[in-house]
Amino acid sequence: MEQDMEQEMEQDMEQEMEQEQEMEQEKSRAGDLERLKALRALIQQDPRNVEALAEAGLVAVLVERIRSSPHTEQVFVLQIMAALGFMVQKSPGRIAEALEAGVIEAIVSRLLTPSSSEGVLLLAVQVLVFLVENKVALHHFLACNIQNALIVVLERGCVRSSLLNARVANLLSRVCELTPGTAQHVYVSLLRSISATTAAIENHTSNAKDHASVTSPGNLAARLAQIDNRCITLCQGLGYLLDNQLITNTASQQVFEAGFIDIFVRLLSQHRIISSHLLETATWTIAYAISGSTDRAALLGQHSRAQDLVLIVRRTHRLEDGAVHAYSSLMSSMIGALSTTDRATALAITSRLMSCLMAVDVATADRSNLERSRDRAEVDRIILRAQHTTGNALRVVRRIAKLGGTALEVLLEGGLFKGIVSLLARSQAYSECLRADLLQEIGLLVEHSPRLGLHMALAGALDELKVAVERSVTVQELCNATRALACFVEHNTPQGLRITDMALAKACDEVLVRILIERDARKTNYEVLLNTVGGLGYLNKRQSTHAGDDVPLSPTSGDTAHTDAAMRKRYVEASTALVSLLRDSEASGDSLVWNSLWTLIYMMHGPFASACIKAVHQADGVALLSSIITTNGKNQPLVCSAAKALYEVVRAFPQGILDSMPLNVRLKVLACAARARPLSSTGEVDMSRTLEIAVDPENILESTMCKLETVHGDSLRASALKIQYVSGDVEQVGIDAGGVRRDWLSRLSRDLFNPNFGLVIAGFHPNDSVQLSPDPSFAGMSMEDQQRWYMLMGRVLGLSVLYGDPLGTALVPSWCKLLLEEEPDFNDIRYVSKQYFSTFSSLRELRETDPLAFAASLRDLTFTVNSRELMMKEAFERDTDTPPVSPMRLLKPKVASMLSSSKLLTAHSPPTSLESITTMSELHNAMQVARASQDRNQLRRLLLLQNTLLAKQKDLLTRPASETKRARRLSAVSETSSVAMESLGSPTLKRPRFRSASTDETGDLVKSPCHFGDAQDDESKAFFRGVGPIDKEEENHLDEDQDDVDDDEEGASEDEKRMQRMMSTLYDGGDAEEINPGNFNRYLEMLTYKLLVENVAQQLALVKRGFHEIVPRKLALLLLRPSELQSLIEGDRDISIERWKANTIYKGNGNVDDADQIRWFWEYASDLAKEDRQKLLLWATGWRAIGQTGFAHRPFTVEVTSVESPAENERLPSVATCSFHLWIPKYSSKSQLVRKFSLALQEASFGNC
């Protein structure tokens, strides 16, 4: 008893000791594993660690641990393999050390060990890939029979590790490449292994029948799966080798002689029981073997059992897509090769494929006979198998057709596509599932092949599709039917257009329209509607009128040639249905909305255009399309499509558009309509066209002119303009995505609209506004230059409107009114002449308060005015301290006293004596010098001298001997137009065409007609011509003539005398008609016309011409008000910080709008003066003012950097003007932020893109 107890105690103690030892070993292994992981991390961190460890002998240690580690320690061996791989990678010295330590033998041992995991095998093969690059290693490979070891790995059947199989195949191919003598052995070995597995599959089939009663189905399936996996990996290995094209023609012939075809035909003959994966892999292996070799493909096709390959499609279930792809590639190569060598065999294979295609037709026709001899379940299985066969054949034919080549010609000759049409004709007898598949395959078949589409259309496919659409039972069937029809008519090639014409002739659009109208009753889904709208769009595109923007479209015209009232009614209903669909599908998806919009556009250009437009308008389409534009701002293709559709409606129904449509919507319509091409056969707006120009920012005016004057207006309008700044031959950094263009427009407009440049003069209210100069020649600019610069000015204004980029320039209201062909009124004078407006406003007030005094004040006044010279003087002298000289001094003293409280019109002060200037040519040269030096006082003196010379020569030219003193005194320098005065409300007064003085080439005075420009006239002439030189005789004669003045002038000053000589009549004979209370209003009308229209008529004509090259005239008149145009061009020049903040988003970790740096930035911006705030906006966005629509198209983004360091505190802020993105370093204080931003604005010329 005691002995038994002692034995038990000893056994317990031994067990405890064993457990402790196991725990110690487990701890030791865990420690070793952790140390290995740390070692691996150390190796990966720094290459210098690898060198140090290699010098310490780590390579030999790792090889030894591979050899000695237990096979059960898979994780441990995995870490060792990974570390060894890092050690030997790209290091000949360490590779040699590993070879000397016996690394290949150790790894081969692991490869041949059945218990090695897939991970260990993968890393082991990768180490061998590193080693094979060493020539010494190659001998070790051959000595260790590495090829057999790798084939053994493939035989493992590691299906899930495709990477392992690929690496094994790559290593085998590398060994075969380095040792060509071993290649044949590798291929033959792989073929033998595949043959063995094929035999195993065949034996399994027979054994399964013999031992079905004694072997469970689960065991049979598991055994078959194991064999299947082994065959897959072997085929993958052989396929990788063949795909690498390392096999030569001689070697391939030897492979074929080794039974390649027989083995794989035997394997594929088991297609009913092998997996889809094996079927796909084996098929790809055959395709790789015959790829690129017509001889090998023909050899396969001529094999006695080659036609049996067609029977693969007779599987009992649907083929996977990968298997279909592989099988189609194989059949295409084989049929294509046989088409030139043995066409009869190629047609025979095609015939067998045709029989597979028609399998369901045969089975369905024979169903009644089958039901008499077999039970219903078996008949259903036969029908189902036939359906799978037909479906597989359809997909194979479609893939072969997509591959094209000679195989497609054989299929066409074999009548397969006509067979598909015949299947479609009898599809109502098939199952719903097969009908849907058939329609889907037909759509995919013709989607990218108009040739096949035409071939099938000629065979009657369109008729059958129309029936299929009408009779579709399920939503899926209807979806596939509509898609197939849309695929037939989508092509834009000549063959595709022929299909579309056939579809229209067969009234296919009728069934699509009916689906739209009955979409609720048909229970359509998103896909059905998308296909229906797409197909209807393609059909309507074909019958579109292709009317461009120059063809007016009214709601009462355009349909006279069409008498089909029923079709008209359907199209009207379809238009209404599309509007309803758009209203319902705004949240459904952009694709449906986009397709619906373009279908609507095509219908509004089709045979029933006006009826469709009217239907859209009556369905409240304007509001709907406006909503789409407003809510989809980021989706530009969708917005542009909606804008184009909306334009078609508003140009037919323009009433109330300006009041009912928001400005941002009208601007989008204007931009899209202006930039779009007329609707053509392509039917799309090409927004991808770009126009790139290089501009010198240091000479922006001249460089821009040189570039743009060679660009046609249509190209400038329709293309996306991109600017590149180039200084000399050096390009500045920046890719224009909008920011550089905005900066360029701001810089260009700042110089172009500068009064010192000579094209404009200062206006009033505000004082920095500008108006067209009534006499631009004062700056010495030639007639040709004036035409060029005013045209450019108009283009710049148009680009501002087109792109929504404000120029920060305030135009006087009359300028904007005249651009939009609206008549200015008297109140607009206050913006162009403060003194004229004040004087005549006082007279109007006097008429109401004291009619007698008013009548007395008009006594002896006539229809004359001195406008151009006084407006020029007023513009240039308003900032000086010189007291103005009033023209009212020419009136009676009583009138002057009545109006003494008003600011009166100024006259020129006596000109400075410039004896050296005696001709207009010398005067112009002096003006150029004064303008270049920006000497405003000199310019004023030269202007006065110019007026003096002009007045003297005018008096000389127009002074006949019989002329009265009064007529001589009031004759004027008259450069007036032939514009009819009816526009002023006086149809009885016509403006005659006057003639102005000019000089011929010899300098003699001549008289020539004064031509006024027109916006569409390419021959617009200059509105000013200089006069010839004045010699001494003429000066003496003019001095003597001063003695003939009227007695009323005896006490007048020289200024008053000169002013009287510059007076011009408001109409021919106006100096003889005195102003009285009865005609005072007419005088004001003529005065308004003179000041605001006639004085700038030719300048404005050129500006309008340039403006309408960018913004077409009818678009501008339809969509813009003058006040809106003024706001668009000027923008918000005060730059509301609150408005800016409201359109700003913040980015970055933890960035919120109350972060210190962000708060400091807004405080800094708020404290800036107006001019500095404009500089900040220009630097950040490229704008000098915030546009009318603000940041609607893209919000401003502020991001504070996350790094906080002394170096970061010294960085300047940066900005991407194209994306409105500002990066603010994490400054330590507000003073530092202000200092850095001030420096950035001072140093930077423009923001970076």
Catalytic: which of 176, 672, 1010, 1218? 1218
CA-to-CA distance for 197 and 200, rounded, in angstroms? 5
SS (H, E, C) 553-572: CCCCCCCCCCCCHHHHHHHH
Give the CA dihedral 158, 162, 165, 171, nearest 10 degrees: -150
Amino acid occupying residue 590: D
- The structure tokens listed for 521 are 């009753």
**b/e burial code for range 573-603 (CB count within 10 A of at least 16 → b):** ebbbbbbbbbeebbeeeeebbbbbbbbbbbb
197 within 8 A of 231, measured Cβ to Cβ: yes
Q: Is 340 exposed, middle or buried (0-12, 13-18, 19+ CB in 10 A)?
A: exposed
Classify 192 as helix, strand or coil: helix
| Percentages (nearest 5) of helix, strand, coil residues in the chain | 65, 5, 30
Cα–Cα distances (Å) from 703 to 230, 697, 700, 783, 788, in that order, read: 74, 8, 5, 20, 13
Task: Give me Rg for the CA atoms of the chain.
Answer: 46
769 phi, psi to nearest 5 deg: -75, 165
1028 within 8 A of 1042, measured Cβ to Cβ: no
471: Cβ contacts below 8 Å, ≥ 6 apart: 428
Q: Is 552 exposed, middle or buried (0-12, 13-18, 19+ CB in 10 A)?
A: exposed
Ordered DSSP codes for 405-460:
SHHHHHHHHTTHHHHHHHHHHTGGGS-HHHHHHHHHHHHHHHHT-HHHHHHHHHTT
| Strand pairing category for 1144-1147 and 1214-1216 | unpaired
SS (H, E, C) 1150-1219: CCCCCCHHHHHHHHHHHHCCHHHHHHHHHHHHCCCCECCCCCCCCCEEEEECCCCCHHHHCCCCEEECCC
Cβ–Cβ contacts within 10 Å for residue 93, how many? 11
660 within 8 A of 624, measured Cβ to Cβ: no
| 508 catalytic residue (yes or no) | no
Q: Is 1205 exposed, middle or buried (0-12, 13-18, 19+ CB in 10 A)?
A: exposed
CA-to-CA distance for 410 and 993, rounded, in angstroms? 81
How far is C-alpha 912 from the geometric centre of its chain's CA atoms? 61
- The structure tokens listed for 866 are 């001195």
CA-to-CA distance for 550 and 1070, rounded, in angstroms? 43
Identify the residue whose tokens are 């003096």.
948
76 within 8 A of 29, measured Cβ to Cβ: yes
In this structure, is the dihedral angle defined by the CA atoms of residues 1108, 1112, 1117 and 1119, taken in order, positive or negative?
negative
| Strand pairing category for 770-772 and 760-762 | antiparallel
Cα–Cα distances (Å) from 1184 to 440, 765, 1126, 1167, 1171, in that order, read: 57, 19, 15, 17, 9
DSSP H/E element including 772? strand 770-772
| Strand pairing category for 730-731 and 760-762 | unpaired
116 within 8 A of 71, measured Cβ to Cβ: yes
Select from 785, 901, 787 the least CA-distant residue to 849: 901
1022 phi, psi to nearest 5 deg: -70, 150
Residues annotated catalytic, as ranges: 1218
